[in-house]
Amino acid sequence: MAKVLFVMTGVDYWTLADGTKHPTGYWAEEFAAPYEAIKAAGHEIVVATPGAVVPTVDGGSLAPGANGGPEGAEKIAETLRKATELTHPIDLAAVDLADYDAVYYPGGHGPMEDLAVNTTSGQLLNAALASGKPLGVVCHAPAALLATVGADGKSPFAGYRVAAFSNAEETQAGLADKAKWLLQDRLIALGVDYSEGEPWAPHVVVDRNLYTGQNPASSAPLAAELLKAL
């Protein structure tokens, strides 16, 4: 049995360019699909957040329209209800990478607010990359890579192929013109080799021990790749 660390946002908002707070958190499918797959394979999951805050789900991600209808919405809500790991997170600052076999970051707009500037998370990401352990990051969670820049102004992730939520998807979601910055733009500026698939279609990129997915639909295929590695 492997032990997998889920690093999640601790905020329930995303500050827009005009200073207003857009309600958000983590995206349900990006937690639930990998959670179900990893638990079904017999592995243990531990959730960590900044300050051990119980993570908030983005209400929009529980809507029938985001889950293929009412039945899908109820199924995903049930997964979240039974995931006791969500209600007992550990403090991100207390994480020892040696205790885990893999690390996974679900998205939602929350990571754009807190993990993008969280140095503890940045250090964990750099350590996980260097360790060779499987590291999965999906959708908006690659915003956390922005906190991996060292004193030399460079990130160890520069040059890695990375999939993440695209400018096209942010535009279609109606938030691109309201955002302070766009994830695709910032990742390219960071020096990663950004890989863009079709909007909303599954798109997973594996580069060495880094596993990234573009959007919610990519979270289940990404989890399948992580399980192969485990």
- Which DSSP string corresponds to 27-80? -HHHHHHHHHHHHHTT-EEEEEEGGGPPPPBPGGGGSGGGTTSHHHHHHHHHHH
- What parts of the chain have a pLDDT lower than 70? none
* Cβ-based neighbour number of residue 31 at 10 Å: 30
Residue 138, CA distances (Å) to 46, 199, 203 in order = 17, 14, 10
> What are 45-95's pLDDT values in tens digits?
999 999 999 999 999 999 999 999 999 999 999 999 999 999 999 999 999
48: which residues sit within 8 A by CB, 6+ positions away? 5, 6, 7, 8, 89, 90, 91, 92, 94, 95
pLDDT at 18: 98
pLDDT at 194: 98
How far apart are alpha carbons 164 and 211 in whole angstroms? 11
pLDDT at 185: 98
pLDDT at 113: 98
pLDDT at 143: 98
Q: What is the pTM of this model?
A: 0.98
